[in-house]
Amino acid sequence: MKKHNFNAGPCVLPKPVIESGIEAIKNFDGTGIGILEISHRTPGWERIMKETEELWKELLNIPEGYRVIFLGGGASTQFLYVPYNLMGKKAAYLQTGVWAKKATKEAKLFGEVDIVASSEDKTYSYIPKNYTIPADASYFHITTNNTIYGTEIHTDMDCPVHLVADMSSDILSRPVDVSKYALIYGGAQKNVGPAGVTFVIVREDILGKTDRPLPTMIDYRTHLKDSSMFNTPPVFSIFVMHETLKWIKELGGLEAMYKINKEKAELLYNEIDRNKMFVGTAAKEDRSLMNICFVMAEGYKDKEAEFMEFAKSKGMVGIKGHRSVGGFRASTYNACPIESVKALVECMQEFESKH
């Protein structure tokens, strides 16, 4: 039976990307040696590294003065890199979910943290709107897409201080005005490849402004200077990222990606709103295009396990909601085909007609 993969990350990857990953494991770049066995100083590899940064710059239309680097440690390690490198006395954070809260926790080790607003009061089901960003903060940190709760900040805001964004779960899903941000980071394992590599897009002139001593590996400048080759990079994860970026480019870039993502999300949200058995959990204006969260409606709460079994029997994978929210979450990242979303919608309709 065909499986429809709605995992929240790691998650579905484009088929052609998987194919080139398999080929590269057998024979990288015509060398007769697999990518897992080459030196990262191989000229063919250095070309892939260069092209990967160039593809990022091209797809996101990244202005002059920014670099893209590739690190290990996941987005969670960036929670500490950011204050280590950028924080003076104070930083400001918008608390829109558990990941944002974890980022805040790390920042508190380095100085004063101003949580300008939080939506914890309603299980992070909305994005706070009216808040003041302190002008004396070194930066303002946001999480653009809240993977667990299915909320998303849809616009690139104007910010009086350096804007720093965790874009782990919506990067490359839409065009972004990078010039509004001082730093953007995320784990690759949703829209840009497998786990194991973390991307950081950084405006070079914001670095080197704190007087705190920085360990070599934590200092972004180390990795800028050596183009992410100061130490051994996660070679295979970067290769798959490179192929994923090429796939996005071939599809027509981020405008095209955004159009498909909106179409997929609209299909599923329309069904959630229409179907008497389900109800969405995120505030409508803040609904994520990437993680679509819903629960059983009043009167049908006892049908949750039955729907889960039914959906499983129809090939749906990874639709269980995060334990802190319950219900269901369908992650419709870039590589999730519209056919899978249609199959889930049909499955919800069939379930409704049975009750």
* Footprint on this chain of ligand PLP (rule: CB under 6 A): 9, 74-76, 99, 143, 147, 166, 168-169, 187
Q: Is 90 helix (H, G, I), strand (E, B) or coil?
A: strand
At 64, which amino acid appears?
Answer: E
- Range list of H helices, 275-327: 304-313
Q: Is 135 exposed, middle or buried (0-12, 13-18, 19+ CB in 10 A)?
A: exposed
Least distance in angstroms from the C-beta of 189 to ligand PLP: 6
Residue placing its CB nearer to ligand PLP in the complex, 72 or 111? 72
Per the CB < 8 A criterion, the answer to whether 21 and 134 are in contact is no
Residue placing its CB nearer to ligand PLP in the complex, 178 or 192? 192
**213 alpha carbon, distance to own chain's centre:** 30
Residue placing its CB nearer to ligand PLP in the complex, 31 or 76? 76
**186 alpha carbon, distance to own chain's centre:** 6
Q: Other C-beta atoms within 10 Å of 147: how many?
A: 25
Q: What is the CA radius of gyration of the chain?
A: 21
Least distance in angstroms from the C-beta of 184 to ligand PLP: 12
Residue placing its CB nearer to ligand PLP in the complex, 168 or 244? 168
Least distance in angstroms from the C-beta of 310 to ligand PLP: 27
Least distance in angstroms from the C-beta of 28 to ligand PLP: 25
Residue placing its CB nearer to ligand PLP in the complex, 165 or 347? 165
Dihedral angle over CA of 74, 69, 93, 218, nearest 10: 70
Q: Which two structure tokens, joined as six digits, stand for 29?
A: 């770049």
Least distance in angstroms from the C-beta of 80 to ligand PLP: 11
Residues with a catalytic annotation lie at 99, 166, 190
- Hunting for tokens 């730093």 — which residue is that? 183
Q: Is 141 helix (H, G, I), strand (E, B) or coil?
A: strand
